Chains A and B, each alone.
Chain A
Amino acid sequence: MKKIIFLLIVIALCSQSQAQEFAKRLTEAKTAYSSGKLDDSRFAMEQMLQELDIITGKEVLKILPAKMGDKAANTKADNVTGSSGFFGVIIHREYGTIDSSNVDLEIISNSPLVSSLNALLSVPFMGSAGDNKTIKISGYKALVQKVTGPNERADYEVQLPLNTTLITLKAPGLSQDDVIKLANTLPVADIAKMLQ
């Protein structure tokens, strides 16, 4: 019980410090702008966006399922990295504690690279060609792909693009149907709302 309370206090302090950082950058942006230092103002705004990305990423982690199938979330491995731009922000969550069979969930947000996958899904015969299959997860179009696992095993991963966000779910050792079932437990609509 003491540990839980301690953890809650640490989380609260972290969010507070990030909020303070955002407020600090906002003041910097305003001051630099009013004194005509446009580039400094722009730089402060870039940092504001970084803070927002990290905060939003942490909020997304909070709404992810606590379990995927029989595997519990390994919250110690939770991570939010990167910054807005070409490669976007990566939100990472693992389920299970054995590397070879962990279910990995990765959400890349604010990445213009994602638009290419959207294009693939908009042309039906291309999305469903070869080892790819177009499916729907909570009403959103997604792509389930066959990938080669250890010892030539057929593994599957689901990719779901949402404008400039890409959700990727990898579940080594599971069948295509089971991976799709796991993907269906994701709160996609809520994630989309938070990251739009």
Chain B
Amino acid sequence: MLSAANGQGILKKLKDKAQQATDKMIDKKIDDAVGVDNNSNNNNSNSNSNSTDMSSVGRKGKPSNKTGEGLISTPPNVNENLTTADASFKAGKYSDARYATRQAMLGVQMEIGKKLLDGLPETISGLKKDASSDKVTSAGWGMGWSGLTIQRDYNQDDKQLSFTIANNAMWMQAVNMYFTNSGYMQTSGGEQKWKQVRVQDEKAIIEFDASSGYKLSVPVGQTTLLIYEGVNFANEQDFMNAVNQIKIDSIKKQLGEK
């Protein structure tokens, strides 16, 4: 039994070494193909961070940008895009109709996200909301793909609660797997890394990692996943008290989840 385990260990090491060698070779071939000199790249990376930007490869004396107000982040107008979709569809321009519909969907998703952020508490367990971290991301795919993601952080000194809502997210299937796969068993001995809990009547998974802190994942309804991440919370109860100040029912209602 011991020799079999040793054999597996050696095989694993050999596999890792082979993987490393293959990765190096592929990196080198890609660098050769795009004409990047590794040595010069490394030397330049300290003096100018733009040197790794593909657009400036081989161009000397490129000025660095000092002005510009960035991009306008106005969400697409839903009504205008729906009207365009209608007109394009009637004219048989299905590709244009699809683009306009996706733009309208993007607009409505951004509005949903903003409304959800407005409904979240201003402070949680003495942690203040960090308005600069508020983020609503919509991939515009709408179904199955990355969908809508809403983020909000609460901070006080080195204590932080990050809250993410992922709606229509493909990867929430991974969390549901915890609940359905008997292979993921809770242990009573040794160090407990994760366990199932209930939060406001929803089944959830809480995890703890010494370097990243507490993490709670709550799948809600059919297509929504809520993720709470707590850094520097004293204990599980302290973290759960903070989590419970965000009302899941209200989020479910706004996202049309049952």
Binding site for B on A (CB under 8 A): 19, 22-23, 26, 29-30, 33-34, 38-43, 45-46, 48-49, 52-53, 55-56, 59, 83-87, 112, 123-125, 193-196
Q: Are A33 and B108 in contact (CB under 8 A)?
A: yes
Q: Does B29 contact A (CB under 8 A)?
A: yes
Contacts of B97 in A (CB 8 A): 52
Q: Are A33 and B79 in contact (CB under 8 A)?
A: yes
Interface stretch among B56-64, B67-75, B141-149, B204-212? B141-149
Contacts of A56 in B (CB 8 A): 94-95, 98
Q: Are A30 and B144 in contact (CB under 8 A)?
A: no
Interface stretch among B81-89, B154-162, B178-186? B81-89
What are 7 A-B contacts with C-beta separation under 8 Å? A29-B82, A33-B79, A42-B142, A48-B101, A49-B98, A112-B141, A196-B95
A39 to B112, CA, bound (A): 8
A30 to B81, CA, bound (A): 10
Q: Nearest-CB distance from A134 to chain B (Å)? A: 14
Q: Interface majority SS on B: helix, strand, loop or mixed? A: helix
Q: Are B115 and A38 in contact (CB under 8 A)?
A: yes
Q: Are A38 and B111 in contact (CB under 8 A)?
A: yes
A43 to B89, CA, bound (A): 19
A66 to B89, CA, bound (A): 27
Q: Does B174 contact A (CB under 8 A)?
A: no
Q: Does B52 contact A (CB under 8 A)?
A: no
B residues 171-219 with Cβ under 8 Å of A? none
A48 to B143, CA, bound (A): 12
Q: Are A195 and B109 in contact (CB under 8 A)?
A: no
Binding site for A on B (CB under 8 A): 29-30, 33, 78-79, 82, 85-86, 89, 94-95, 97-98, 101-102, 104-105, 108-109, 111-112, 115, 141-145, 170, 254-256
A22 to B100, CA, bound (A): 14
Q: Are B82 and A26 in contact (CB under 8 A)?
A: yes
Q: Are B256 and A45 in contact (CB under 8 A)?
A: no
The 6 closest A-B pairs by CB, nearest first: A85-B144, A39-B256, A85-B143, A86-B144, A45-B105, A56-B94
Contacts of B29 in A (CB 8 A): 125
Knowing A49-B142, A112-B145, the reply to whether A59 touches B94 (Cβ < 8 A) is yes
Contacts of B95 in A (CB 8 A): 56, 193-196
A165 to B211, CA, bound (A): 42
A83 to B144, CA, bound (A): 9
Knowing A33-B79, A59-B94, the reply to whether A43 touches B256 (Cβ < 8 A) is yes
Q: Are B79 and A86 in contact (CB under 8 A)?
A: no
Most buried by B among A33, A38, A52, A86: A38
Q: Are A46 and B105 in contact (CB under 8 A)?
A: yes
Q: Are B170 and A86 in contact (CB under 8 A)?
A: yes
Knowing A39-B255, A195-B95, A196-B95, the reply to whether A85 touches B101 (Cβ < 8 A) is no
Contacts of B111 in A (CB 8 A): 38
